[in-house]
Amino acid sequence: MLTLPLLNTNAFCMLLLTLAWNCKSDAQPMSSQFENLTVIAHRGASGSAPENTLASIKKAMETGANMIEIDVHLSKDDTVVLMHDSKVDRTTNGTGKVQELTLEELKKLDAGSWFNEKFSSEKIPTLEEVLKAINGKCKLLIEVKGKSKTYQGIEKQIVDLINKYNAKNWCIVQSFHTPYIENTYRLDSAIEVHKLIISPLRLFPFIYMDDGLRFGSIKKFTYAKSINPNHKAVSKKFIKKIHSQNQTVFCWTVNEKETAKKLIALGVDGIITNYPEKFLKK
């Protein structure tokens, strides 16, 4: 029979401390590699709750997202409301274009059951309701949808609401459509704006393509704080070019950790994701 030497109390305690330290140093929290990454909840926490609703916004705040991205349109009676598509068909029990429905008509729609029946009470929120709900707890990234001719005057509505709630330091306006961000900046240069693009050209990273298959020069957007492309189109060369203009790069839409790790290696500053909880400490 093998006899093991007995450890005195002090030696035993030292052994436990050593083992604990080794475990701590070898196993880092899953989110530590993302701690310098700006995590932006896409349409709220849209992987866990119906997109562009107060439920998804509340969930995003609970995860500790650095920023919440939403999409806005203008109703028939000129109220800024949340919706990604130009029509309500996909995410409500109604039909028709947002711009052809009044706020009263939009508020009658069920904006949650398509995702899960437990969200049947969710309604289409207004931008004002969202500003009240967030109240500076995190930053809000407002994407203006539709072409500039579709929603004339929406920029002033957004700027007025941001000023009404003293939200300049936590609200940002972005769009694929240049006139929206140009007009926002012209109306109030203290409000941060971002330029959305589909992709830069690989050989000429300062030339971009937008969602209308139009091309332009990124250099003219010196007033924009960030240039935000599809994550599949970025390169280290592009990111260096943008950083040389003292701008950041936030990529969309990133839902996998491995993709995020590759983007971090390229130098990306932030990601827009349906699952912010994947990249944040619990």
Let me know if 84 is a catalytic residue.
Answer: yes
Let me know if 177 is a catalytic residue.
Answer: no
Give the containing element (helix H, strand E) for 80. Answer: strand 80-82
Q: Which residue has the higher pLDDT, 213 or 279?
A: 279
Lookup: tokens for 199: 């992709």
Q: Which residue has the higher pLDDT, 168 or 9?
A: 168
Q: How far apart are CA 14 and CA 39, in angstroms?
A: 40
Among 73, 84, 194, 243, the one annotated catalytic: 84
Q: How far apart are CA 80 and CA 74, in angstroms?
A: 5
Range from 13-17, 26-30, 203-207 that averages highest in pLDDT: 203-207
Q: What is the pLDDT of residue 199?
A: 93
Q: Which residue has the higher pLDDT, 150 or 29?
A: 150
Q: What is the pLDDT of residues 45-58, one digit of tens each?
A: 999 999 999 999 99
Closest CA to 140 of 123, 122, 125: 125
Among 42, 73, 194, 231, the one annotated catalytic: 42
The model's pTM is 0.88
Strand partners, 139: 67
* pLDDT over 90 (residue 198): yes
Domains of the chain: 36-279 (3.20.20.190)
Q: What is the pLDDT of residues 217-228, one digit of tens each?
A: 999 999 999 999
- Cβ neighbors of 270 (< 8 A, separation 6 or more) are 37, 38, 39, 40, 66, 67, 248, 249, 250, 251
